[in-house]
Amino acid sequence: MIATICRKAHFNAAHRLHNPNWSNEKNIETFGKCNNVHGHNFDLEVRIRGEVDPDTGFVMDLAVLGNLIKDEVEERFDHKNLNMDCPEFEGLYPTTEYFVKIIYDILKPHLKKDHLLHITLHETQKNAAEYGDW
């Protein structure tokens, strides 16, 4: 039997959306308030899809997944300025679209080969991005 499990996490980070190739006017027109440095309370959802182990009834131990997210994602990004402090974003805009791909690339190597991974990152209560194997 195939099932999907989900572990949630939460962290705060700051960013600024700014294209250095554009004038200040075009940056403000495009990014609005997001052209200023500002913070978000990010809500992260990490989903793993795979075979349920008949010995445990688990796809994966959620405590193990929780520790992995804490060590690899929360510790790395919590209370950071994504533009200034995080080399993962070098050459990339710190948008939620790029952020989900970065989190996917960090977590994927830690999972079993036959586990599928899907990341949802809520930047606000209204805005989110998703990236993953499905």
- C-alpha to C-alpha distances, 2 to 37, 43, 65, nearest whole angstrom: 43, 26, 18
- Per the CB < 8 A criterion, the answer to whether 85 and 19 are in contact is no
Considering the complex, state which of residue 95 and residue 111 has its C-beta at the smaller distance from Ni ion: 95
Tell me which residue has its CB nearest to Ni ion. 34
Q: How far is the CB of 17 from Ni ion (least distance, A)?
A: 7
59 contacts Ni ion (rule: CB under 5 A): no
Displacement of CA 122 from its chain's centroid (Å): 8
- Active-site residue identified among 34, 40, 86, 122: 34
Q: How far is the CB of 26 from Ni ion (least distance, A)?
A: 18
Query: Among this protein's residues, is 72 annotated catalytic?
Result: no
Considering the complex, state which of residue 33 and residue 113 has its C-beta at the smaller distance from Ni ion: 33
Q: What is the pattern of x (binds Ni ion, CB under 5 A) and - over residues 13-52?
A: ---------------------x------------------
At residue 25, φ and ψ (nearest 5 deg) are -65, -45
Displacement of CA 61 from its chain's centroid (Å): 20
Query: Among this protein's residues, is 123 annotated catalytic?
Result: yes
Q: In the complex, which residues of this chain contact Ni ion (CB under 5 A)?
A: 34
Active site residues: 34, 79, 123
